[in-house]
Amino acid sequence: MIVDASLVVDAVCDPGRRGVAARSALGGQSPSEPLIAPGHFAFEIMSALRAAANRPDHPFKASDLPQALQDAESYEIDIEGTPWTDVHRAWALSERSLRYADAIYVAAAERHQTALLTADSRIERSGAGARCRIITVVPTEDALDDAEASSHE
């Protein structure tokens, strides 16, 4: 299964219900189906974590970054190179309203003939004509209850 940065960032730096849902989705994957991400995944993780740490109202702080990277690594996501076929396919997808960085994830999922696991609902709504299943992880009421329970411990 292809996993995008939005889901992993939620998992490692959101203490609320988005984080609970992301951690559940990543932790619930079968060991027989490895998690894979294209080459720009690490860059997107670092950029998003830095952006979160720089927002004054966000609970994630710069001092949390080393642990967040270790937590991200613990999901054992295989970061692979991006072949030119994915570059070309992503370009075609991006011409149909999908961000190019997101289109690379879709192209990788299509090539692997697997699903894309994401927290970014814009990918599924883009109408870009993806030829793969897109699984958008959204928080549930249970996730809200779990997040509130863990904040009281």
Mean pLDDT, range 103-126, rounded to an integer? 96
Average pLDDT, the chain: 91
Q: What is the pLDDT of residues 32-42, one digit of tens each?
A: 889 999 999 99
Domain 2-151 top-level CATH class: alpha beta
Q: What is the pLDDT of residues 54-93, one digit of tens each?
A: 999 989 999 999 999 999 999 999 999 999 999 999 999 9
Token look-up 């984080």 returns: 19
Closest to 3 (Cα-Cα) out of 33, 16, 18, 13:
33
Domain range annotation of the chain: 2-151
Q: Is 139 left (phi over 0), alpha (psi -120 to 50) or beta?
A: beta
